[in-house]
DNA sequence: CACCACCATGTTAACGCTCACATGGTCGGA
DNA sequence: TCCGACCATGTGAGCGTTAACATGGTGGTG
């Protein structure tokens, strides 16, 4: 063919806009316009050496004049590299995952990659597999899985093809070759919360946990356990709940009821670490209704620092997670994995970002202890 | 070339997995394997007529045997249709936008489209333009813009190429040809909240609004205004805040201070409609501190129904928005726009989804009104 | 002065798919 | 019996790019 000659003749005389309606300019059009070969144009747009400054300028001018942009599909086809990363999230719009998503997307774009988003509604094996196929069809070069629930990780891990690195955002997973793990250090966060309470002089800290099929929940339990052990406290079980305020409230009521029953073993604890802010809110409400003072009688630490936590009654001491940083970390791991793969290595790595404690007004020394001259007696209450 | 012959010979004997390491099978490989032409294979995978059942089955078998999957890039290059939708969000992970994102992604996938995600950090013209170019490079066929702030919409509208339909998620925008608008009906939501308070017998309803460069905030003001007008109440201005609890708290304090100053014009209102739940939380806190009873002395309605709103003290009456449905609506509009464009039309449309009122415990009849023959004293505390 | 390296540039062939058209066989009606 | 319609299938070109290799000119070195 073709009428490319005509096209370019038009382009030379008419405005670029006029042509755009006809067809987007190709490398070839630019080449004709600049009086060079398409390969030279390719060299210019890819910033390759061995092009004279003069030619480079002329080509650049032609590019600008025609409003040329490289065709991504053609490039992908020719290079067999899609420049695309898959981002898979489970369909639960909690704030953390959402923020992580945005962090991932932003970091990916900074790295010059496209991001393909896929939502998997239920954490079933089938849904996960379908999603991975969806990504495979796009020839994504890496996948980020934001998977708060354990099952989904298992499937992702199993289905991950060896050639495509996967970063999973999930605390507590072990990295494997080609399978990276990024997470907020939930153990640290939980330890921070627990330590804060212990340092205030509390004899013990109770933990109200989220559902135990969530990684984050399990890790927070670990962190709490470890910190208590470090202070020489005996083993004890957490109170298992879910993430809702209703559950927090229910547990608060139960605690109050047991304490009222008079059994000293079941006395109302002086310090509670809740696995998220909603739980803390439910506890707060239960205690408020019962006239139990926070933090006078019992101290509470939450987790997440949700919007508004600073205006709970009282403002909540909690743990804040650096989600954007987490997103960035995901991409870093992925890119590292990709280039390592290209170099023939198959590394395994994990990375954690550190949460921070935000002290507000739900924590104070226990009723009868005096933290300045710290000296906790064996007895409690 | 090629060693395709060898490849397929291998495929015939070895497992598909063995070959995959060498090269992903192409149409051609499948054709060879099935003993037909590549075009016939193409017909099968595209479900086109004029293929005998027998052949179809044989081809299908070959596809399965080789684990063939169509190469998206090649298809895009050949058809000049990317099957990709751009999803642009502003980098603020509030819950609404996040849920909408997931809704969009899910609906797009159901419609067989890929979703390319881009985050624009600041709502500047430059950032927006860059994002649109990023999409243009991928030849997206439609764009969803989740743009809570006015400016970004303007830019998107201006930059939108006529050939790519744009759906903007923004209340109050006017659709234009090729520029669709999807939104939660914020005016309705605000009216619902206002009406609820008025129906309880309150003489007036004050509105604490979000920042007025947000569409949603402005629309809620409109809805509140309209409902008050419908009840024959005189015009009045809203109290402008932002979305934070701190602002709600500050406004609550100001209201209390004015009321304490004794000027009857500035008496403490009996009913407040807050533009979101965080604001409502701040108000709740201010009133609680001052010993002003909610809902005894003043009723409050929030907006969003954030997690935990049911365990505020007291549980918050609020307005819930159907974000997932909104996401679906976006895709419907976009697909309709795309096919209309293909048919040569250039429609303009908008669609709204309806929020619902969730009545809980922060609303009650006003102190002296008697809908259910209640009779409370004017004094407080 | 011959030779080779090196630089700027061009030429050609994929990449894997779809589209438009070509081919050959089958069947029914004139 | 012959012809055209229609069906099943095949052929070839082209989408816009990159990769590999080819070419011709220039300059430094022995």
pLDDT digits (tens, 9 = 90+) for B55-82: 999 999 999 999 999 999 999 999 999 9
Angle between helices B27-34 and B38-45 (to 10 degrees): 110
The rounded percent of chain A whose pLDDT value lies above 70 is: 88
When mean pLDDT is compared across A36-40, A196-200, A365-369, the lowest value belongs to A365-369
- Rounded to an integer, what distance in angstroms lies between the CA atom of residue A70 and that of residue A255? 65
| pLDDT number for residue A343 | 73
Round and report the angstrom distance from CA (B354) to C1' (D5).
56
CA A51 – C1' D27 distance (Å)?
18
Averaged pLDDT for residues B310-320: 96
- What is residue B312's predicted lDDT score, i.e. its pLDDT? 94
Cα dihedral A210→A211→A215→A221 (10° resolution): 50
From B293's Cα to the closest Cα of chain A, the distance in A is 14
**β-pairing, A84-90 with A142-146?**
parallel
Q: Closest nucleotide (CA of B24 to C1')?
A: C16
Cβ atoms of residues B210 and B224 within 8 Å: no
Among A200-209, A367-376, B145-154, top mean pLDDT goes to A200-209
Lowest-confidence pick of A145-159, A328-342, B240-254: A145-159
Please list every residue in chain B whose beta carbon sits closer than 8 Å to the beta carbon of residue A89.
102
The answer to whether B100 and B169 are in contact (CB under 8 A) is yes
| Range from A20-24, A48-52, A54-58 that averages highest in pLDDT | A54-58
User: Are A241 and A248 spatial neighbours (Cβ–Cβ below 8 Å)?
Assistant: yes
Q: Kindly tell me if the per-residue pLDDT of A15 is higher than 50.
A: no
* Band of pLDDT at residue A20, cut at 50, 70 and 90: very low
**pLDDT surpassing 50 at residue A131:** yes
Q: Is B243 helix (H, G, I), strand (E, B) or coil?
A: coil
Rounded mean pLDDT, A122-131: 83
Question: Which nucleotides of chain D have an atom under 7 angstroms from any protein CB?
Answer: 7-20
A131-145, A150-164, A363-377: range with highest mean pLDDT: A131-145
Cβ contacts of B250 on chain A, cutoff 8 Å: none
Inter-chain CB proximity B281 and A311 less than 8 Å: yes
With cut-offs at 50, 70 and 90, classify the pLDDT of residue B49: confident
pLDDT for A150 equals 67
CA distance A154 to A128: 10
- Supply the pLDDT for residue A1: 30
Distance (Å, whole) CA A11 – CA A16: 6
Q: Which residue is nearest to the C1' sugar atom of C7, using CA?
A: A50
Task: Give the pLDDT band of residue A379 (cuts 50, 70, 90).
Answer: very low
Report the distance separating Cα B61 and Cα B65, nearest Å: 6
CB-based burial label for B253 (10 Å; 0-12, 13-18, 19+)? middle
CB contact under 8 A, A138 and B114: yes
Distances (CA, A) of A26 to A82, B137, B185: 19, 13, 44
Which of the residue ranges A168-182, B109-123, B168-182 has the most confident prediction, judged by mean pLDDT?
B109-123
d(Cα A129, Cα A143) in Å, to the nearest integer? Answer: 13
pLDDT reported for residue B380: 38
Average pLDDT over residues B207-236: 95
Count, residues in chain A? 381
Return the axis-axis angle of helices B72-79 and A72-79, rounded to nearest 10°.
140
Higher-confidence position of A374 and A189 = A189
Picking from B77, B102, B244, the nearest residue to A74 by CB comes out as: B77
- pLDDT band, very low/low/confident/very high, at A160 (cuts 50, 70, 90): low
Tokens of B339: 């096919």
Neighbours of A24 (CB within 10 A): 16
Q: What is the pLDDT of residue A361?
A: 97
In this complex, the residue of A77, A106, A244 whose CB is nearest that of residue B121 is A106
User: Tokens for B274?
Assistant: 């807050």
For A85, nearest residue in chain B (alpha carbons): B116
A367 against A162, higher pLDDT: A367
Q: How far apart are the first and last CA of chain B?
A: 91
Which stretch of B55-59, B71-75, B160-164, B249-253 has the lowest confidence by average pLDDT? B160-164
Closest CA to A222 of A269, A175, A189, A270: A189
Task: Say which residue the tokens 């080789």 belong to.
Answer: B66
pLDDT at B22: 64
Under the banding of pLDDT at 50, 70 and 90, the label for residue B11 is very low
Peptide bond into B314 cis (omega under 30): yes
Are the beta carbons of A288 and B323 separated by less than 8 Å?
Answer: no
Asked if B304 and B356 count as a contact pair (C-beta separation under 8 A), the reply is no
Report in angstroms the alpha-carbon separations of A91 from A127, A381, B104, B282, B358.
Answer: 11, 44, 11, 30, 23
- For A181-187, what is the mean pLDDT? 94
The whole-angstrom separation of Cα A227 and Cα B294 is: 41
Paired residues of B144 in beta bridges: B87, B167
Report the relative pairing of strands B299-301 and A350-353 from DSSP bridges. unpaired
- Positive/negative CA dihedral, B194, B196, B197, B200: positive
Task: Indicate the SS3 state at residue A230.
Answer: helix
Please give the pLDDT value at position B338.
Answer: 85
Q: How far is CA A196 from CA A150, A202, A228, A283, A374, in A?
A: 29, 9, 11, 19, 14
Average pLDDT of the segment spanning A236-251: 96
Q: How confident is the model at residue B215 (pLDDT cuts 50, 70, 90)?
A: confident
Residue A83 has pLDDT above 50, yes or no: yes
Residue A91 has pLDDT above 80, yes or no: no
Return d(Cα A366, Cα A374) in angstroms, integer. 12
* Cα–Cα distance list, B181 to B184, B345, B357 (Å): 10, 17, 23
Nearest neighbour of B73 by CB, restricted to A93, A121, A139: A139
A99 touches chain B (CB under 8 A): yes
The per-residue pLDDT of chain B, averaged, comes to 86
> Domains of chain A, with CATH numbers?
4-70 (1.10.260.40), 82-185+323-354 (3.40.50.2300), 186-321+358-373 (3.40.50.2300)
Confidence (pLDDT) at A368: 74
Tokens 């569409």, residue located: B215
E strand or H helix at B156, and its extent?
A: helix B150-159
Residues on chain B touching A70 (C-beta within 8 angstroms)? 137
Does residue B364 register a pLDDT over 70? yes
Percent of chain B, pLDDT > 90?
64
List, chain by chain, residues whose CB lies under 7 Å from nucleic acid strand C.
Answer: A 35-40, 43, 49-52, 54-56, 74, 77-78, 80; B 1-2, 23-24, 26-28, 38-39, 42, 45-46, 68, 70-71, 74-75, 77-79
Task: Starting at the earlier edge strand, list the strands of the sheet with A271-274.
Answer: A239-240, A206-209, A271-274, A299-301
pLDDT band at B133 (very low <50, low <70, confident <90, very high): confident
pLDDT digits (tens, 9 = 90+) for A278-304: 999 999 999 999 999 999 999 999 999
CB nearest to B117's CB, from A117, A246, A285 = A117
- CA–chain centroid gap for B294, Å, is 32
Residue A7: count of CB within 10 angstroms of its CB: 18
In eight-state DSSP terms, residue A373 is: G
pLDDT at B27 over 90: yes
Q: Return all residues near B222 (Cβ < 8 A) that are at least 6 apart.
A: B172, B186, B187, B190
CA A207, A212, A218 angle in degrees (round to 5)?
65
Q: What is the mean pLDDT of chain A?
A: 86
Q: Tell me if B201 sits within 8 A of B207, measured CB to CB.
A: no
Residue B72, both tokens: 């998206």
Which residues in chain A have their CB less than 8 angstroms from residue B94's CB? 307
Enter the DSSP assignment of A262. Answer: T
Q: How far apart are CA B218 and CA B60, in angstroms?
A: 56
The pLDDT value recorded for residue B160 is: 66
CA nearest to A171, candidates A129, A212, A226: A212
Pairing of strands A142-146, A114-120: unpaired
Please state the φ and ψ torsions of residue B160, each to the nearest 5 degrees.
Answer: -60, 125
Structure-model confidence comparison of residues A128 and B3, the more confident one: A128
Structure tokens given for B151: 């400016």
pLDDT at residue B265, as a whole number: 66
pLDDT above 70 (res A13): no
């Amino acid at each position: 063919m073709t009428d490319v000659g005509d096209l370019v003749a038009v382009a030379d005389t008419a405005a670029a806009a006029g042509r755009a309606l006809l067809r987007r300019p190709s490398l070839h059009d630019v080449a004709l316009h600049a009086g060079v070969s398409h390969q030279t144009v390719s060299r210019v747009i890819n910033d390759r050496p061995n092009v004279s400054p003069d030619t480079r300028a002329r080509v650049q001018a032609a590019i600008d004049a025609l409003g040329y942009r490289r065709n991504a599909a053609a490039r992908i086809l020719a290079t067999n590299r899609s420049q695309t990363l898959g981002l898979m999230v489970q369909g639960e719009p909690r704030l953390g995952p959402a923020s992580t998503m945005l962090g991932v997307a932003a970091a990916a774009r900074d790295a010059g990659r496209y991001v393909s988003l896929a939502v998997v509604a239920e954490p079933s094996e089938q849904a996960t597999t379908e999603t991975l196929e969806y990504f495979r069809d796009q020839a994504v070069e890496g996948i980020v899985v934001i998977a708060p629930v354990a099952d989904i990780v298992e499937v992702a891990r199993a289905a991950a093809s060896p050639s495509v690195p996967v970063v999973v955002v999930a605390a507590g997973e072990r990295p494997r070759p080609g399978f990276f793990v990024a997470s907020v250090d939930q153990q640290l966060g939980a330890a921070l919360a627990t330590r804060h309470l212990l340092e205030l002089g509390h004899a013990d800290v109770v933990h109200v946990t989220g559902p135990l099929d969530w990684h984050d929940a399990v890790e927070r339990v670990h962190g709490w356990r470890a910190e208590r052990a470090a202070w020489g406290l005996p083993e004890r079980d957490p109170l298992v709940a879910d993430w809702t305020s209703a559950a927090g409230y229910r547990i608060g009521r139960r605690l109050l009821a047991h304490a009222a029953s008079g059994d000293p073993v079941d006395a109302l604890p002086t310090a509670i670490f809740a696995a998220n802010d909603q739980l803390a809110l439910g506890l707060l409400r239960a205690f408020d209704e019962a006239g139990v003072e926070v933090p006078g009688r019992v101290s509470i630490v939450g987790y997440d620092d949700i919007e508004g936590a600073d205006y709970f009654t009282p403002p909540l001491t909690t743990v804040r997670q650096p989600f954007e940083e987490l997103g960035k970390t995901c991409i870093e791991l992925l890119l590292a994995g990709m280039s390592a793969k290209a170099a023939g290595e198959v590394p395994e790595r994990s990375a954690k970002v550190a949460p921070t404690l935000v002290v507000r007004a739900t924590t104070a020394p226990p009723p009868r202890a005096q933290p300045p001259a710290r000296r906790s007696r064996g007895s409690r209450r």
